[in-house]
Structure 1
Amino acid sequence: MSYKDRAEVFPKGLRLKSVTKNDNGVYTCEVTSKDSSGTLLYGQAKTTLTVLVPPSIPVAQVPTSVTNGGVAVLSCIEKDGSPPATFSWFKDKVLLPSNPKDSPTFQNSSYTFNPTTGVLKFEPVTKGDSGEYYCEAKNSEGSQTSGVVRMNAEDVNVGGIVAAVIVSLLILALIAFAVWFAYSRGYCNKKTNKKVIYSQPSETRSDRNFQQTSSFLV
């Protein structure tokens, strides 16, 4: 962000106007002077600026359908807070502990959670993990919660997989039969014999240009 018309330097400091989180960072002040002997003296000081901004409403990215025994990754997205927000997850309005084994409510779940990134990972997924999820982003300036998204843990559709395999095998069998039938009928072996007829053009003689090729003696 440009500092034009926003930065004001005075003898002992710097004043910034209309600050945003983009102004966050480390600022360095340098001082030079000379002592009585004329030796150049140099000094430096650093300070960190953090512009405080409350979090915006986070976005909960939750898969709506997952398979039992598989992996499910839930993400909480919020990038406006300053300092950066930390995250929490709720299932059916109950706060998920950082370790599921610490709570009788979630002791049958297997998940890991990173409060800094907001990523909640179930591995493996169980039917008990089905429910309504939402997340919270929080920093020193406030907190916001996301919308609610339902996740359903379902068994593998074995019947559908078997049916798909059978249909695929039937299609392959039909293709093989069609190829065999074509060869057995000779459709794939016939060669087209093209007859080339050469016609020599006849030489036409006109009466006017006709010359007698025999002579008679009388």
Structure 2
Amino acid sequence: MRRGPLPPSPLWGSPCRSATSAPAVSLAGAQVTSETKEVPENQPVDIPCSAYRSDWGSPRIEWKFQKGSSLVLFYYAGALTDPYKNRVVFSVTSIHFTTVTREDTGKYICEVVGGDSQIAKSEVNLIVQVPPSKPVAHVPSSATIGRTAVLRCTESDGSPPPTFRWYRDGMLVPTDPKSSLSFRNSSYTLDSTTGELTFNPVSAFDTGDYYCEASNNVGTAQRSDTVRMEASEVNVGGIVAAVVVLLMLLGLIAFGIWFAYSRGYFPLPPKR
């Protein structure tokens, strides 16, 4: 996709507003309409140019594609740009994709300029529907009781972005732990949009086998592998024992160095 400098446009600096089936509004002297379309991946789709006016004679038409911060001009001066030449059919009232992929998700902007400085613009937010892939559950193998533990569920293919659910020992983790007898002794927050399950603080009841599920109403929901998390107290005795062993080791090293010098294994530096 070409991302070089774009030719000037009378609406280049105009702000954009997204809405579903929104009525025409005035924006920097232009008439703007906006709508949303959803289509399954690998299917054809027509994207209308609602800005076109037949009573404007032969207006100049431009099409732009916006995805995030990227803005690409793909119909200009009466011709399609690469790589759309073999994928898109242009007409004054719409563009037709013979097939769409997930990369085509984004905002399509049609700008129409009439001979008497008449300006109109329409926007179509295209969502190419893609079922989620198998998510990945990021679960710590151990968590300390009284501390914070964060479990994350990630998925990179679904469009629209999926929502997430968590399961512990095969039971659905509810949004509110107090709403379930099985989870009322836990303290956590669950964000279904980001897929984060945050225990604050961790309790002994949070030990279990966890997996997450991603769904976006396209295809079937997908589940991650199961990962076990063990919640345990801080092992104070083990920490003390480790410190004692470390101090003994340092003492042995210091004794060994002293003994080596005392036996003349290491020559002393010359006196000045």
TM-score band, normalised by the shorter chain? 0.7 to 0.9
Residue 177 in structure 1 maps to residue 255 in structure 2: yes
Gaps of at least 5 residues in structure 1 are: 193-218
Q: 1 CA distance for matches of 2:168 and 2:258? A: 59
Label 1:179 to 1:21 Cα distance change in 2 as closer, same or farther (>3 A): same
- CA drift at 1:62: 1.3
- CA drift at 1:5: 1.0
* Pick aligned residue for 1:155 from 228, 233, 248: 233
SS of alignment partner, residue 160 of structure 1: helix
Q: 1 CA distance for matches of 2:194 and 2:216? A: 13
Aligned CA RMSD, in angstroms, stands at: 2.3
Residue 49 in structure 1 maps to residue 130 in structure 2: no
Q: 2 CA distance for matches of 1:56 and 1:117? A: 16
- CA drift at 1:181: 4.2
Does the 8 Å CA contact 1:182/1:188 hold for their aligned counterparts?
no
Q: 2 CA distance for matches of 1:77 and 1:145? A: 11
Q: How does 1:192-207 map to 2 (within 5 A)?
A: none
* 2:224 matched residue in structure 1: 146
TM-score under structure 2 length normalisation: 0.62
* 2:91 matched residue in structure 1: 10
Label 1:40 to 1:167 Cα distance change in 2 as closer, same or farther (>3 A): closer
* Alignment length (residue pairs): 188
1:94 partner letter = M
Mean alpha-carbon deviation: is it higher for 50-59 or for 65-74? 65-74
1:33 partner letter = G
* 2:185 matched residue in structure 1: 108
1:117 partner letter = T
Residue 125 in structure 1 maps to residue 202 in structure 2: yes
SS of alignment partner, residue 114 of structure 2: strand
Which deviations, in whole Å up to 9, do the C-alpha atoms of 1:192-211 show, x marking residues without a partner?
Answer: 9xxxxxxxxxxxxxxxxxxx
Residue 95 in structure 1 maps to residue 176 in structure 2: no
* 1:19 matched residue in structure 2: 100
- CA drift at 1:11: 2.5
Larger strand proportion of the pair: 2
Residue 71 in structure 1 maps to residue 148 in structure 2: yes
Label 1:183 to 1:32 Cα distance change in 2 as closer, same or farther (>3 A): closer
Q: 1 CA distance for matches of 2:152 and 2:255? A: 51
Q: 1 CA distance for matches of 2:110 and 2:95? A: 9
SS of alignment partner, residue 146 of structure 2: coil
- CA drift at 1:161: 1.7
Q: 2 CA distance for matches of 1:11 and 1:111? A: 55
Q: 2 CA distance for matches of 1:7 and 1:116? A: 34
* 1:84 matched residue in structure 2: 161
Does the 8 Å CA contact 1:89/1:96 hold for their aligned counterparts?
yes
* Greater Rg over alpha carbons, structure: 1
Aligned sequence identity (%)? 52
Does the 8 Å CA contact 1:113/1:120 hold for their aligned counterparts?
yes
SS of alignment partner, residue 213 of structure 2: strand
Gaps of at least 5 residues in structure 2 are: 2-82
